[in-house]
Amino acid sequence: MGKITGFMEYQRLAEAAEDKRERVKHYREFVLHLSDQEAGIQGARCMDCGIPFCMTGCPVNNIIPDWNDLVYKQDWRLALDVLHSTNNFPEFTGRVCPAPCEAACTLNINSDPVGIKSIEHAIIDKGWEQGWVVPQLPKRKTGKKVAVIGSGPAGLACAQQLARAGHAVVLFEKNDRIGGLLRYGIPDFKMEKHPIDRRMEQMRAEGVEFRTNQHVGQNVNAKDILAQFDAVALTGGAEHPRDLPVPGRNLEGVYFAMQFLPLQNKVVAGDKIPGQILATGKHVVVIGGGDTGSDCVGTSNRQGAASVTQFELLPQPPAQEDKPLVWPYWPLKLRTSSSHEEGCERDWAVATKEFIGENGKVKIIKIVRVEWKDGKMTEVPGSESEIKADLVLLAMGFLGPVQTGLIEQFAVEKDARSNVKAETDGPKAYCTSVPKVFAAGDMRRGQSLVVWAIREGRQCARSVDEFLMGRSDLPR
Amino acid sequence: MAHPTLPARQGLYDPANEHDACGVGFIANIKGARSHAIIEQGLLILKNLTHRGAVGADPLAGDGAGILIQIPDQFFREEMADRGVKLPPLGEYGVGMIFLPQEPASRLACEYEIERAIKDEGQVLLGWRDVPRDNAGLGESVKKIEPVIRQVFIGRGAGVTVTDALERKLYIIRKVSGHAIQALKLEHSKEFYVPSMSARTLVYKGMLLAGQVGSYYKDLSDPRVTSALALVHQRFSTNTFPTWDLAHPFRMIAHNGEINTLRGNVNWLRARQGAIFSPILGKDLDKVWPLIYDGQSDSASFDNALELLIMSGYSLAHAMMMLIPEAWEKHTFMDPHRRAFYEYHAAMMEPWDGPAAVAFSDGRQIGATLDRNGLRPARYLVTSDDMVVMASETGVLPIPEEKIIKKWRLQPGKMFLIDLEAGRIIDDKELKDTLANSKPYRAWIERIRIKLDDLPAPTKIAEQSKVPLLDRQQAFGYTQEDLKFILSPMAQQGEEAIGSMGNDSPLAVLSNKDKPLYNYFKQLFAQVTNPPIDPIREDLVMSLVSFIGPKPNLLGIDETNPPMRLEVGQPVLDFNQMDTIRHIDYYTGGKFKSFEIDISYPVAWGKQAIEARLASLCAQAEDAVRSGYSILIVSDRKVDADHVAIPALLALSGIHQHLVGKGLRTSAGLVVETGSAREVHHFALLAGYGAEAVHPCVAMETIFHAGASIPEEYRGEKGVKNYVKAIGKGLMKVMSKMGISTYMSYTGAQIFEAVGLARGMVDKYFTGTTSNVEGIGVFEVAEEAIRLHLAAFGNDPVLANALDAGGEYAFRVRGEEHMWTPEAIAKLQHSTRANSFQTFRDYAKIINDQSRRHMTLRGLFEFRVDPAKSIPIDEVEPAREIVKRFATGAMSLGSISTEAHTTLAIAMNRIGGKSNTGEGGEDPRRYAPVKAGETLASRLGRDRIQRDIPLREGDSLRSKIKQVASGRFGVTAEYLNSADQIQIKMAQGAKPGEGGQLPGHKVSEYIAELRFSVPGVGLISPPPHHDIYSIEDLAQLIHDLKNGNPRASISVKLVSEDGVGTVAAGVSKAKADHVTIAGHDGGTGASPWSSIKHAGTPWELGLAETQQTLVLNKLRGRIAVQVDGQMKTGRDVAIGAILGADEFGFATAPLVVTGCIMMRKCHLNTCPVGVATQDPELRKKFKGQPEHVVNFFFFIAEEVREIMASLGVRKLGDLIGRTDLLDMKKGIEHWKAKGLDFSRIFQMPHMPPEVAIYNSEKQDHGLEKALDHRLIELAQPAIQRAEKVTVEMPIRNVNRTVGTMLSSEVAKKYGNSGLADDTIHVRFAGSAGQSFGAFLVRGITLDLIGEANDYVGKGLSGGRISVQPSPKFRGSPTENIIIGNTVMYGAIAGEAYFRGVAGERFCVRNSGAQAVVEGVGDHGCEYMTGGTVVVLGMTGRNFAAGMSGGIAYVLDEDGSFNSRCNQSMVQMESVLAEAEQEAKVSRDIWHMGQADETILKGFIERHARYSGSIRAREILDNWTTYRAKFVKVFPTEYRRALGEMAAKRRKLAA
């Protein structure tokens, strides 16, 4: 399927993007999806492998060869069906997923992988354009009520699956808008927010009730939830950020990334935010080399920062991984994001010693170079230096779910990493230690990708359905 | 009758699997003159056929031999007179030859029953005579079971006036007494057997060696014993259990061959019991049943059937024509009366199909016939003094040439009959014309035959189901893959899709998915004991014609008003045809009536209902037949949400077996209408279990409504038509895999084995089918159907608008499981690249741990670890010793890239294991050891290597195992001499019984060079080895190859199936040093999916059966056993050893180590990692390294060592056969798998300790007897110093494979270039044995004056052969045979001149030799890829089938060649005068760059010179006239390739 010799004839084509000098002037998405023909040719590069490694590389196990072939044959409608059969929200993953599927693509062994993500992007955008994405109403109602707490990708996926199985689902969200990190963690220029709203419309029609500003564990009591619902799914994410306890941490101008990023999203959404933390005209230092750090870089540039510097504690990874020993797994290698391209100094193997301030406001960061040997870090003697910093954004990852409130009230058992404890396989899949309470997504597995959250939300929904009905037809 | 002395069925050994094949012959005086000399000569024939028999573990125990003669009246008269008995005149008494028990009381009981039967049948007991015998020469094992042998003399009673009537009475006496003795069920009556009881013939036979018959039976040396005929037989059995009764001749026949359709034939005979009556036998017919006892040999069964026909009044010839008809179906120029004769009888008797030369006699006539394929040799000669000698080979009797007036052979489907009473030979034409015209068959056929296709199509199609198609598809277990891989390709291309690599998904019984019942059955296939057929190139013998409805009375010889019959051209019915059948009474004016049996039942009744439902269906069917319905339609079309269908196969087989049991089956036809049938395997099963036609309703509807998966133009009638065609082709392939040619005889033949079905259920509903590991019962079958049904009609959102993903053919998450998961491949590659045993453990765990996912039978095994016996690992033999037992699989250079092929070879040579060339030759540049500084490219040529591999000093690129497959590509004397082991590939796990094809675009210049063919010309590997049609042929090939390289061990590769153990025993007796048992799941570069998935069984079964059978036969010690097929881990190796393997083959796993990622694209040439492709760009991407492969094998060995340590076994050799160390895993919860029972696999025969259970001795090949030792001695000046040597010597038929060992000596020293032409010149006189001049190298010339047998010039490697008749022989060379069958098979180079006619299959797969002959049989030049053949006489049919290269020039004097040439791949042109060719034809496409006239004339001149041909002289003398009569046979592929090569040359030059 696909085209037998397509991979030998066609080159990989990246999605077109607006020029970096232009795109930093606004917060809109700047990546364009492929045209029908372009996507068709990219689909033709798929070899329809006897073992599609992409499919296991993908956490939701998208049936990639099948929709690649359908796009090649320009059967977009069926391609959309196949895509939706494993993934509730391809519009999210088609935009923000790092695409482990492409790392696992067999063409990636010795050539450029199939542009799987770009094809997914094209399919789902086409689906919305054509009005093919419509509510899938359950055949009958079960009369069971399920509370899903947390409206990030895991919660959304879980809620949608359960509604389709005929359950009455209420989705609780502590913020004013639905979407969790999709809404407030990911900047608009990476993913605009109207797709979330569109999905909400669909889900509402399928029977999901959304309740915002409902912070279970704060303004809503777990006891009440347990009393009102036949089952509960905890999908509250892993929002407890890793801190940097060095002298000067309390200075003004040192913030967690998640204190900074949501504000800009709200502004883009039309909210008025008095005293918004802004990078405008400032020397910004982002500490942490991951995706969140990258988002901070992009946002800072858009706000008009004087300079942006990003530090990473770990050494600079190689530009190219040792494929024979890594493929088909996710490689550790130097990744340059679109935000980096827009302007940023990057430095590796750098540790922060101290924040030095003036009038309570941070002005300088004292750093030191470090060396790594056998997984152990040592400072390089005499390598301290100081760097100007008006705004420091800490993007060093998350330690797990916020422990207070929700988790306390449900009194669920936790694992060694302070996540809510639950298996993913077997008869107790996604069950917490508390009867009828389930957990999925980052809250269960710790900080991860959107696509993992969707997977867990779907699988958790099946477990809940089985728990409620004795059996389930929901796919895992 | 149960075999008296075979071991009982035990473990996996089943005596029903015994095969035999052999040498057969007769001598007769045409005028009926009796003499003792005829008996002496008969015995001499027997002795001279000794090499066609075999001996087992006891060298004094042959497989059986015997002689059939006329009653020696004078002798008996005198003998009996001495005993006081006066015999009546000849013809008025009968003689029974009786084997009796040694135990006296039992013997008396048997004698009493015989005497009682004589009395009851109103005849007279005249007396008994003890047969004088001398058992001095018999082996101990034979003596132990030697019967008492007596003759009984029976006089005719009142009312019996003619000898024929007496014969019938004797027949009934034999039957009645036999049944009575069986009924006594005496422990000591097993030896009882009646070799003959006749007023005309007498059989002396036994468990004897050929030479012992005459000395054992003293009668035979008494000069008073005379006969006008002697029919002799020497048996070669696959097993060695001494049995006296299995020796031939039987009462009427001696048979060389195999009846492939035996099960069906026997069933059909039984099925007729209720609908059969004989005007001749009358009520006596009732006493005949059971006609054939269960478990009888094919020959014995055939003899029983023939005897019944003859006793019922058919003539000998008539009966033979019914049982073994020639291929009339597609024989367009057969006489219409004869066709009608065959067609008329086709409905009465299904062909007994298989390779067969049957010699038969009733004492008045003697004759022989050959099967429609002509797969056995039979040569005869007629002398001027009225003698006829026929035998499997010529030269068995010394007869002065001047006395011989005719030398000929039996031809395919032809009969040869001598009527001793009439005193003349009746030839095939006269014989058959007489019979064909004896009744108005043609008129009858016209009157009684209704062709379904000729009936008016119904005006409107009956309503199709109201149930949505998707629900019905799901109810029958359709997946998306059924569309993608099965239906869509068939609807578009009219043939089955091709896949590659092996099958690594679980058996149906282990699968978590719900599988159709079809998946529990595995197709059986031919290997060694009978050849598969090529259904494409030899389709003239194939037929899909099926008769639906009642069959005529088999014994109705005086029929005047035969019943009507309904005929279909092929058995797959479309909507119209089905509708016609449903309303057949309307369309046939009430002559046929159909009755529909609804096999669905309310799903609410659950699985428990199935048993009673089936019983009711059988009752319904029985009643319908009894009340006159002539067609039963077994239908599941009524399936809906509330009604589940009983699997159609189960319902059909249940009903079929029930009707057979009631003797009603031939009174009605069975048609199946089912939604479940979609792939070839399904249709094959339905046919095999009794369906005369099948309508696959859902499959056809699916094609109509397939959506995007089938292009629109095929989504309708066109697609359905293609689909029907594809199924038909596929069926022919499945049938031909087993060597069966006609659908009629395939129907009900049950050529399957069940894996994972409970024996109780199989015995009840699939009676006679093997099932060795138990499994699910009938209620679980119902449960599986109900599960599918509930899913189909349930709420599963995944199934709401789509089919299940499948995952059987390609990996899918949540689809079917596969052994090779992405994780497993990643871990294996990472571990071997990083040399990390730890990561390898992760890999092995994924494969080995089947606690959660059940994949293989061995996955459910467990080692019995006794911690007290465990030993430290350093006490276990080191890994470097264990790896020597490892080999890589046979993957040809062609299927995989040069880089991949050499990587494996380097690695295996580094560890002391063995790599395998695969089919396709090997570059001689790979033979010498590597010197320092060399690389792969520097050795093989920079332009030939896309990715270089550094080499170490002392490395070797040579594959130690040289494969010899059916295509014989590149099999030269030099190739053989470079081998440590020569492997004969009988079958391949992925596609047993099938041939292969390397398409032209893959035949690069390099591959063409290695295969001695033309670049760009496609190469076909035929399904059979054309020199192996039976076990004794295999013995001959083993002998040939051993002569070709006496230092190499000879291996035979078999594929696991029921009965493979017996075949392996035969292989051991055929002197193979080594046997490989491959699992069904092994890999392939390209094969139809149905073969990959459904043929053969797991190696656990085949290996265990092999070990058990070999040990039981005491044959294990002399042969090494290798196992392969999805071997992946050390655990696999340990289990293989425990089940009986000395060595282990790996193919897929090492390929994965070199980079294979199971793309399954080998057949598309697009392997993206450069492993299985010839594309230069892709080959650059190859990343494999020998080091990684070395790591892999050491890891495997290390894992084996760990297991051995835990089991307390120090040496791998000590693990072999230790099944006490294995157990079935405890606590298997899986609802299907928990019914499995492996006790038969784990059972080991109880044998004394001295019986070897692993390879410990050497075979005795008997090479010391070879004539070549003398030749080598005499040729020393040539071999040492290249000096010319001339030798003259006589030759006999027992001198086999002459010139081959001599060639080996030359090739060893001089390689393929050999010596200068004619350096060693040998002149022979006499009759040469088989394989004269095989693998003869350049520089050797063999001239033979006399004649030769089969396989002359096999694999000719540059030498020259000529054969011409003795000057004393008076026959015309163009009308007499001079050489046998399959001459020049796989010839590579050299010349041959034959002054006379050749047998069938002349120059098959010739790739470069030049040959001139004065006539050929059928299938001349088949699969030829190069060289030149000149035929100066008549050809047989199917000339040039599958011929892709080379040229044949055929002298076509009467212009009839056109009808005998298969023109699907060749064009026929005239041979132009040189000037004319120059003017008209581009030089680009001139054969050998010369004008045809020059070439042709040159060869004819050489023919005249070397063979003294008068014919050649005459042609040359009238050249212009004759030239115009020559036809040039020019393969289209060759023409295209010549053009392309010329264009390329010009381009390079420019």
Q: What is the pLDDT of residues B760-786, one digit of tens each?
A: 999 999 999 999 999 999 999 999 999
Q: Can you give the C-alpha Rg of chain A in angstroms?
A: 23
Is the pLDDT assigned to residue A149 strictly greater than 90? yes
Chain centroid to CA B199: 38
Residue found under tokens 């009755």: B595
Q: Looking at the DSSP assignment, which residues form a beta bridge with residue A284?
A: A308, A391
Residues B1373-1430: pLDDT tens digits? 999 999 999 999 999 999 999 999 999 999 999 999 999 999 999 999 999 999 999 9
- Mean pLDDT value across residues B1354-1379: 96
Give CA torsion, residues B557, B562, B566, B567, to 10 deg: 40
Predicted pLDDT of residue B1177: 95
The band of B19, judged by pLDDT with boundaries at 50, 70 and 90, is: low
Nearest by CB to B1161, which of A47, A164, A473?
Answer: A47
- Residues B1257-1280 have pLDDT tens digits of 999 998 988 999 999 999 999 999
Tell me the residue ranges of DSSP E strands in B103-221.
124-130, 148-155, 193-198, 201-206
Give Cβ neighbours of residue A243 (< 8 Å, ≥ 6 apart).
A249, A256, A394, A396
Q: What is the chain B residue with the closest CA to A85?
A: B798
Reported as a pLDDT band with limits 50, 70 and 90, residue B247 is confident
Nearest to B1102 by CA among B1063, B1132, B1134, B1128: B1063
Quick check: A1 contacting B, CB < 8 Å? yes
- pLDDT tier for residue B241 given thresholds of 50, 70 and 90: low
pLDDT-derived band at B330 (thresholds 50, 70, 90) equals confident
A380 close to B (CB below 8 A): no
Confidence of residue A253 (pLDDT cuts 50, 70, 90): very high
User: Does the beta carbon of A63 lie under 8 angstroms from any beta carbon of chain B?
Assistant: yes
Q: Indicate if the pLDDT at residue B528 is higher than 90.
A: no
| Cis-peptide into B290, omega within 30 deg | yes
Q: What pLDDT is recorded for position B6?
A: 58
Distance from CA of A135 to the nearest CA of B (A): 14
Give the C-alpha separation, B1289 to B1280, whole Å. 22
Considering only A104-113, B493-502, B962-971, B1361-1370, which range has the smallest mean pLDDT?
A: B493-502
Phi-psi map region of B425: left, alpha, beta (phi>0 left; psi -120 to 50 alpha): beta
Residue type, A220: V
B802 touches chain A (CB under 8 A): yes
Of A1, A50, A73, Cβ closest to residue B1159: A50
Q: Is B820 exposed, middle or buried (0-12, 13-18, 19+ CB in 10 A)?
A: buried
Contact call for B1159 and A56, based on CB within 8 A: no
What does the alpha-carbon distance between residue B673 and residue B693 come to, in Å, rounded to a whole number?
Answer: 9
Averaged pLDDT for residues A48-77: 95
Q: Which residue of B has its CA nearest to A82?
A: B802
pLDDT tens sequence across B641-699: 999 999 999 999 999 999 999 999 999 999 999 999 999 999 999 999 999 999 999 99
Contact A110 B825 (CB under 8 A): no
Instruction: Assess A134–B contact: CB distance below 8 Å, yes or no.
Output: no
Provide the mean pLDDT of chain B.
93
- Lowest average pLDDT, out of B160-169, B172-181, B385-394, B453-462, goes to B453-462
Yes or no, beta carbons of A1 and B484 under 8 Å apart:
yes
pTM of the model: 0.94
| Position B294 pLDDT exceeds 80 | no
- The pLDDT tens digits for B955-1008 are 999 999 999 999 999 999 999 999 999 999 998 888 888 888 888 888 889 999
Lowest mean pLDDT among A444-448, B5-9, B513-517: B5-9
% of chain B residues with pLDDT over 90: 81
Averaged over B1102-1111, what is the pLDDT? 96
pLDDT band with cut points at 50, 70 and 90 for residue A408: very high
CA-based Rg of chain B, rounded to a whole angstrom? 32
- Give B3's pLDDT tier (boundaries 50, 70, 90): very low
Considering only CB atoms, which chain B residues are within 8 Å of A81? 801-802
Q: Is the predicted pLDDT of residue B24 greater than 80, yes or no?
A: yes
Instruction: Using a CB–CB cutoff of 8 Å, tell me whether B470 touches chain A.
Output: no
Which chain B residues are Cβ-neighbours of A45 within 8 angstroms?
none
User: Which pLDDT score is estimated for B2?
Assistant: 37
Q: What does the alpha-carbon distance between residue B517 and residue B1364 come to, in Å, rounded to a whole number?
A: 60
* Chain B stretch 1148-1167, residues whose beta carbon is closer than 8 A to a beta carbon of chain A: 1155, 1157-1161, 1164, 1166
Three-state DSSP string of B1519-1536: HHHHHCCEEEEEEHHHHH
Residue A1 has pLDDT above 60, yes or no: no
On whether the CB atoms of residues B393 and B1348 are closer than 8 A, the answer is no
Phi-psi region of B1341 (alpha: psi -120 to 50; beta: other; left: phi over 0): beta
Judged on CB neighbours under 10 Å (0-12, 13-18, 19+), B215 is middle
- B889: tokens are 């699989």
- B1083 CB neighbours in chain A (<8 A) are none
Q: How confident is the model at residue A384 (pLDDT cuts 50, 70, 90)?
A: very high
Q: Tokens for B521? A: 């059955």
Q: Is B1518 exposed, middle or buried (0-12, 13-18, 19+ CB in 10 A)?
A: exposed
Residue B827: how many CA atoms within 13 Å on its side-chain side? Answer: 19
- CB-count exposure of residue A404 (10 Å: 0-12, 13-18, 19+): exposed
Q: Rounded distance, CA B1318 to CA B780, Å?
A: 72
pLDDT given for residue B4 in this prediction? 43
Q: Residue B952 half-sphere exposure, CB side, CA atoms within 13 Å?
A: 10
What's the one-letter identity of residue B489?
P
Residues in chain B: 1550
Contact check, Cβ <8 Å, B1161/A50: yes
- B1163-1200 burial, b at 16+ Cβ within 10 Å, e below that, comes to bbbbbbbbbbbbbeebbebbbbbbebbbbbbbbbbbbb
With 0-12 / 13-18 / 19 or more C-beta atoms within 10 angstroms meaning exposed / middle / buried, residue A71 is buried
Residue A301 CA to residue A304 CA, distance in Å, equals: 5
**Residues in A touching B1161 (Cβ below 8 Å):** 4, 47, 49-50
Q: What pLDDT is stored for residue B996 in this prediction?
A: 81
- pLDDT at res. B1: 36
Q: Distance between CA B1216 and CA B1198 in Å, rounded? A: 17
In chain A, which residues have their Cβ closer than 8 Å to the Cβ of B801? Answer: 81
> What are the pLDDT digits (tens) for A3-17?
889 999 999 999 999
Spatial CA neighbour of B1069 closest among B1116, B1001, B1125, B1106: B1116
Name every chain B residue with its beta carbon within 8 A of the beta carbon of A47. Answer: 1159, 1161, 1166, 1168
Confidence band for B478, pLDDT divided at 50, 70 and 90: very high
User: Per-residue pLDDT for B266 more than 50?
Assistant: yes
Residue B465 Cα, gap to closest chain A Cα (Å)? 24
* CB–CB contact B1164 A4 (8 Å): yes
**Burial class (CB within 10 angstroms; exposed 0-12, middle 13-18, buried 19+) of B130:** exposed
Specify burial of residue B1141 (Cβ count, 10 A radius: 0-12, 13-18, 19+): buried
Distance from CA of A44 to the nearest CA of B (A): 14
Question: Which positions 735-794 of B are in contact with A (Cβ < 8 Å)?
Answer: 794
For the stretch A420-443, pLDDT in tens is 999 999 999 999 999 999 999 999
B760 sits in which H/E element: helix B759-765
Cβ contacts (< 8 Å) between A328 and chain B: which residues? 822, 826
Interface contact B1183, partner A, CB < 8 A = yes
Identify all chain A residues contacting B1157, using CB atoms and an 8 Å cutoff.
Answer: 49, 51, 53, 106, 109
- Which whole number is the average pLDDT over B706-721? 90
Distance from CA of B436 to the nearest CA of A (A): 56
CA of A450 to nearest chain B CA: how many angstroms apart? Answer: 20
Query: Contact at 8 Å (CB) between A305 and A279?
Result: yes
Burial class (CB in 10 A: 0-12, 13-18, 19+), B771: buried
